[in-house]
Chain A
Amino acid sequence: ETGVTQTPRHLVMGMTNKKSLKCEQHLGHNAMYWYKQSAKKPLELMFVYNFKEQTENNSVPSRFSPECPNSSHLFLHLHTLQPEDSALYLCASSQGLAGTNEQFFGPGTRLTVL
């Protein structure tokens, strides 16, 4: 595997389910990010991890819970989601901080909440 991978690619869940999204980067980067992409809206930065430490939580509801066990893996745990949470969830990584360095994106997980 190369680059940034995300699993699953598609996920359908009910509002009472608990599921997790997984992201893995094979680039040796130190920073990882979760974004939410909704139709006709700018990408919304959700969380930033730098050397496994969370450095940004962009006022994300607690029903989204990130986990970064090491610099290569990032999870997004989902519980009690709402239909408006349906979106494409993108993971990205960078060497150094995102403000000045290129981010590499995974293909995303298309989430549908019923």
Chain B
Amino acid sequence: AQSVTQPDIHITVSEGASLELRCNYSYGATPYLFWYVQSPGQGLQLLLKYFSGDTLVQGIKGFEAEFKRSQSSFNLRKPSVHWSDAAEYFCAVGVLDQGGKLIFGQGTELSVKP
């Protein structure tokens, strides 16, 4: 069955430090992968997506993610975190059967220390 695992429920980093949020997926075919961010009181916003080609994808707000097929991972990174990055981050895999849908991980809450 298709699934997405985000091993870290909550991460705290200092402002200016680097960030890596982990995501592992289970899907039999070539995956379509997404990272979304949710700020308090808001809906989800797409940060970046991977469909094919270059395994390092750039997104908005200075984020990037690397697709590693051998590890079934799609980790999100940012070299220097800003206080405004505090939010919840969701990894998702696109499933093409059953009409197409997204399967989300349980999310990682990011806190940023001044």
* Residues 69-88 of chain B, each 1 if its beta carbon lies under 8 Å from chain A, else 0: 00000000000000000000
Structural contact, B4 and A42, CB atoms closer than 8 A: yes
Residue interface mask A36-55, B partner, CB < 8 A = 1: 00001111010010100001
Task: List residues of chain B with CB within 8 A of the CB of A41.
Answer: 106
CA distance A75 to B35 in the complex (A): 27
Q: Is B18 an interface residue (CB 8 A)?
A: no
Interface string of A79-114 (1 = CB under 8 A from B): 000000000001010001111101111111000000
Check if B43 is an interface residue, CB within 8 A of chain A: yes
Residues from chain A with a CB closer than 8 A to the CB of B100 are 96-100
Number of interface residues of B (CB under 8 A): 27
Residues of A within 8 A of B45 (CB): 105
Q: Which of A43, A97, A102, A107 contacts B104 (CB 8 A)?
A: A43
Q: Tell me the B residues contacting A by CB distance below 8 Å.
A: 4, 9, 32, 34, 36, 41-46, 49, 51, 90, 94-96, 98-107
Given contacts A42-B105, A42-B106, A90-B43, 18 further A-B contacts (CB under 8 A): A33-B101, A42-B104, A45-B101, A45-B103, A48-B101, A56-B98, A97-B100, A98-B94, A99-B96, A99-B102, A100-B51, A100-B96, A100-B100, A102-B49, A104-B46, A105-B44, A106-B43, A108-B43
On chain A, the residues within 8 Å of B105 by CB distance are 42
A33 to nearest B CB, angstroms?
Answer: 8
Contact call A98/B102, Cβ cutoff below 8 A: yes
Find out whether the CB atom of B42 lies under 8 angstroms from the CB atom of A45: no
* Range, interface on chain A: 20 to 34
Interface centre among A43, A55, A106 (most CB of B within 10 A): A43
Tell me the smallest distance from the CB of A57 to a CB of chain B, in Å. 11
Cα(A105)–Cα(B90), bound, Å: 13
Cα(A27)–Cα(B99), bound, Å? 21
B105 nearest CB neighbor, chain A only: A42
Q: Contact at B32–A56, with CB atoms within 8 Å?
A: no
Which residues on B sit within 8 Å (CB–CB) of A100? 32, 51, 94, 96, 100
| Cβ B32 vs Cβ A107 within 8 A | no
Instruction: Assess whether A99 is in contact with B101, with CB atoms less than 8 Å apart.
Output: yes
